[in-house]
Chain A
Amino acid sequence: MRRKRLAAALCALLMLAGCGAEAPETAACAPAEEDRLVIYTSHKEEVYWPIVKEFEQRTGIWVDVVAGGTNELLERVRAEADHPAADVMFGGGVESLASYRDCFAPYACGEAEEIQARFRDGEDLWTPFSALPVVLVYNTKLMRPGQVTGWRDLLDPALRGRIAFADPAVSGSGFTALGTFLLAVDGEEEALLQAFAENLAGRQLEGSGEVLGAVAGGGALVGVTLEETALKRIAAGDDVALVYPEEGTSCVPDASALIRGAAHEENARAFLDFTVSEAVQRLLAEQFCRRSVRGDVEPAGELPALEDVPLVDYDVERASGRRDGLLMTWAFYLEEKEGT
């Protein structure tokens, strides 16, 4: 009995000594649930950060940003389908988003009529953000202007093994580029794939980010990438020039989508509206070297209007439908090259 009482007293003492820290009053600073928004974004920080900051400033909504790779985030959205943690998927090519249609809720944004029809989805499952034409780049120190003019030049044996091309299985822009190449160049598809793989000499890059580096560094003479990426490097002063392929190119936009069952749907819609607002679209054109999806925002600087760029009729739905088959054929020819 005595011993028990003693033990109890000791416990009380220790507890007395152990506790005492209290949480500061920060709860008052934290925003209410209806003032919050969670965004998954595959954009780089330099793109999403000014937009998110301005959005917060204008609306008073607190944005929680989770950044990551497109496929990684889309997988996460699918995994969380029952209890979505995010409200908006901000970024990612339309082709990628199309594979996850089930995860998104349709929303026609506020200024939908201002957006060029070719970029819009039939069911409004996503809101286009910027237009990203596929372009060719070359090193201006190693090649003369006019040496590369179109897709067909990629089959030139003189460039064999010196073409920077991102693995279409990994890179969304690589896949779009491959599809565009097949549409733009006349000829039988299998033969074209075989010839292109032959000219890559089995070399392809792990991601689209490496293409410009390879070309600017002289490791490759020519590269295939997105207009936006190329323009940024040119603006940064690299020895790179871009060419719109004369046979025509594709212009697949990236987009944002409202996640099905989002907890902060109202705020998510406000954000989608904001991404296509004139202010943001102008910022894209002027600061981020991107093409606006709006009809009333002209491309910045000396960039040719989209109407002046030869385009092929690239069907996103069809391309994503035959993605697996195309990738398998491509891998087959490429590995054959690697083997020899």
Chain B
Amino acid sequence: MSRVTKPSFRRRLFAGFLAASLIPLLACSAMLLQIFRLRLAGDAERETAEQLDLVSRSLDGAFGAFTQAAERLQGNPIIAEALTGRAEEDTLVNNELFNATREARSYGAFALYDLQGVRRYSTRRDPLEERLSPEWGALYAASEEGEPPRFTACEDAADTAGPLLQGAARLRDGMGRPVGYLLISLYYDDFRQLLEDKYGAQNELILLSAHWRPVYCGQPALAETLAPRLRSRLLAGRSLDDPEEGFQYAAARHEASGLNLILRRPQTFTGETMRLLYTVSFGCAVVCVALSVLMSFKLSGQMFRPIQRLRQGIGEVEHNNLDVCVPAEREDELGELARRFNEMVEALKRNQEALVANQRELNQAQIRMLQAQLNPHFLCNTLDTMKWISKINKVPQVAVMSTNLADILRFCISPEEFVPLGRETEILERYIEIQKIRMSGAFAFHLDVPERLRDCLIPKMILQPLVENAVLHGLEGVEDGAVEVTAREEAGMLRITVRDNGSGLPPDLAVGRYHSRGPAGKHLGLYNVNTILTKYYGDGCGLFLENERSGAAVTAALPVRRREEETC
């Protein structure tokens, strides 16, 4: 029993502890993780937006200066003269060009092309750009008067020597006739100077054209490999972020240049961080489980020991041992439980003792009542009086009978409950004398009591009813009736047997141990004697009936006791 309940009790405790520790732990971990992640992502996004904004403003500054320079050169007569072929001082033209591009020159190279696409003047020398087709590329896309220069991406973003972005504006003279082009070229170094330090050391900035073709990247090689990937993701409608790359992208559009700014930043929440966090959470969970196991064992042990003791106590009580006492040293509910149990057991014990005492008193009262039935003093005195009257009147039988009857009555009303066997037999003989007179000596009486048993104590008046039974019922209708009373000691038991040579036991009495059917039966004498014997000496004593060859035998069995022993 205990092996089944104990583990299950423990299991429940364990489950309880586990739930109470693991759920809050997991909830906290998940919440922290989520807050951490959201917070980091939010910070990173804000930072990215700020950086993109900074980049955007830097570009604004540069492209604003470009537009301003283009406006200054528009309609300039000296420039117009120079580009349409009429000779001008080179220095004069260059002065105009340098003057017009004074703020913008640090952002890029400026060159003036004539209508045939031949470079005539420039702020920087680039041998590859001497001649451009007016029907192709930057010059073809040149903006008209009043518009800001239109920028086009160059072919090779990885070429750090060549221009990466070119913007052109068509120049006109005062009459509105086209005279040539202003070409603004931005090289790798220009971009780097403009944008470096604007977007964080860990991040990478990639400038893409309106069609997401590469224009510039801090690492030129990256522009070539990354731009096509980003473009294909965009065209496929996917997110720019690829979880396997470990980077996140943010995009913004720069309106003045038509460029797309892509900021690549390392993933804030890499797989490694996640793994670390998961490992920590898992470790905490393992500790929790271990603690739960430990606590459940400890607590269930603590709780179970008092319960076990209580259970043993209950078992003792079930087996009628009311002397148990469960230790109740604890001050908690289990201690109280033990204390109450002890109190209950004590109360039960008191109750039972009271009940037994009660019963004994009742029994004694019953015996006294039985004796009282035969106890009228006045009968004795009357009988004495009758004896004297009969002696005076010379009726000896009446004198003998009344003397005997008075002795018997006196014996009956004497206060002692136990008498020596010798005295009992004396009274019995008196009774027989009376009966012989009554029945005209129709039966023989034989008494066989050894001398050493004569001082054995027996309850008073137990033999008389047995002999009366034998005389009145046993010898009824028998010619030479005889009644014999013998006393023997067998194994510490005194056995007094009353035999008759009559017709045997009546059919309503069974052979063997006498079983009382209550005082309402016919054999009131047998009942009373048996009751007295069993009440005094316990269930082992009482009357035993048997049928012998000639008549019935009733044996009273009781322990051998003598005067000096009777001190209980």
Contacts and interface: CB of A to CB of B under 8 A. Distances in A.
Interface of A: 6, 9-10, 13-14, 16-17, 20-21, 23-24, 26-27, 29-31, 36, 49-50, 53-54, 56-58, 60, 62-64, 278-279, 282-283, 286
Given A54-B137, A283-B136, A10 B211 contact: no
Interface string B14-25: 000001000100
B497 interface: no
Given A29-B251, A282-B133, A16 B30 contact: yes
B140 interface: yes
Given A29-B234, A29-B253, A57 B152 contact: yes
Contact of B153 (A21, A53, A279): A53
A16 B251 CA distance: 28
Interface stretch (B2-10, B31-39, B330-338, B434-442): B31-39
Question: Taking each of A14, A53, A58, which has the highest tally of chain B beta carbons within 10 Å of its own beta carbon?
Answer: A53
Contacts of B141: 57-58
B568 interface: no
B240 interface: yes
A13 B281 CA distance: 13
B23 A9 contact: yes
Given A24-B241, A24-B251, A56 B211 contact: yes
A27 B240 CA distance: 10
A interface, by DSSP: helix, strand, loop or mixed? helix
B interface, by DSSP: helix, strand, loop or mixed? mixed
Contact of B19 (A6, A36, A53, A278): A6
Given A29-B253, A283-B133, A283-B136, A17 B34 contact: yes
Interface string B200-221: 0000000000111100000000
A-B residue pairs, 9 tightest by C-beta: A23-B239, A17-B30, A13-B30, A56-B211, A279-B135, A17-B33, A16-B30, A30-B234, A13-B26
A53 B34 contact: no
B163 to A, nearest CB: 14
Given A17-B30, A53-B213, 19 more contacts: A9-B23, A13-B26, A17-B33, A20-B37, A20-B41, A21-B41, A24-B240, A24-B250, A26-B239, A29-B234, A30-B237, A53-B155, A54-B136, A54-B140, A57-B152, A57-B211, A58-B141, A282-B133, A283-B136
A64 B232 contact: yes
B251 A30 contact: no
A54 B211 CA distance: 11
A16 B213 contact: no
Contact of B140 (A63, A279, A286): A279
Nearest to A35: B211
B135 A278 contact: yes
B153 A24 contact: no
B175 interface: no
Given A17-B34, A278-B135, A26 B240 contact: yes
A62 B235 contact: yes
Nearest to A64: B235
B257 interface: no
Interface string B110-140: 0000000000000000000000010111001
B29 interface: yes
26 contacts: A6-B23, A9-B23, A13-B27, A16-B31, A20-B37, A20-B38, A21-B241, A23-B239, A24-B239, A24-B240, A24-B248, A26-B239, A26-B251, A36-B235, A53-B155, A53-B213, A54-B136, A54-B140, A56-B211, A56-B213, A57-B137, A63-B211, A279-B135, A279-B140, A282-B133, A283-B136
Interface of B: 19, 23, 26-27, 29-31, 33-34, 37-38, 41, 133, 135-137, 140-141, 152-153, 155, 210-213, 232, 234-235, 237, 239-241, 248-251, 253, 260
A29 B133 contact: no
Contacts of B23: 6, 9-10
Nearest to A27: B237
A12 B373 CA distance: 93
B493 to A, nearest CB: 71
Contacts of A60: 210
Contact of A282 (B135, B137, B152): B135
Contacts of A56: 211, 213
Contacts of A64: 232, 235
A286 B135 CA distance: 13
A6 B22 CA distance: 11
Given A17-B33, A26-B239, A53-B213, A279 B136 contact: yes
A197 B253 CA distance: 61
A49 B155 contact: yes
A39 B125 CA distance: 38
A320 to B, nearest CB: 35
A56 B209 CA distance: 10
Contacts of A10: 23, 26
Contacts of B153: 53
Nearest to B248: A24
B113 to A, nearest CB: 17
Contacts of A286: 133
B46 to A, nearest CB: 14
Contacts of A21: 41, 241
Given A16-B34, A62-B235, A29 B260 contact: yes
A337 B516 CA distance: 141
Nearest to A38: B235
Nearest to B156: A49
Contacts of A31: 235
Nearest to B141: A57
Contacts of A50: 155
Given A26-B251, A279-B140, A283-B133, A14 B30 contact: yes
Nearest to A23: B239
B164 to A, nearest CB: 13
Nearest to B137: A54
A50 B132 CA distance: 14
Nearest to B135: A279
Contacts of A53: 153, 155, 213
Nearest to A282: B135
Nearest to A49: B155
A6 B34 CA distance: 20
Contacts of A16: 30-31, 34
Contacts of B232: 64
A314 B37 CA distance: 70
Contacts of A14: 30
A36 to B, nearest CB: 7
A142 B151 CA distance: 49
A62 B211 contact: yes
Nearest to A278: B135
B234 A26 contact: yes
A50 B133 CA distance: 13
Nearest to B18: A6
A279 to B, nearest CB: 5
Contacts of A23: 239, 241
Contacts of B33: 17
Contact of B249 (A6, A17, A24, A57): A24
B251 to A, nearest CB: 6
A154 B98 CA distance: 62
A53 B137 CA distance: 9
Contacts of A63: 211
Contacts of A30: 234-235, 237
A50 B155 CA distance: 6
Contacts of B136: 54, 279, 282-283
A49 B29 CA distance: 52
B515 to A, nearest CB: 63
Contacts of B260: 29
Contacts of B213: 53, 56
Contacts of A36: 235
A60 B140 CA distance: 15
Contacts of A20: 34, 37-38, 41
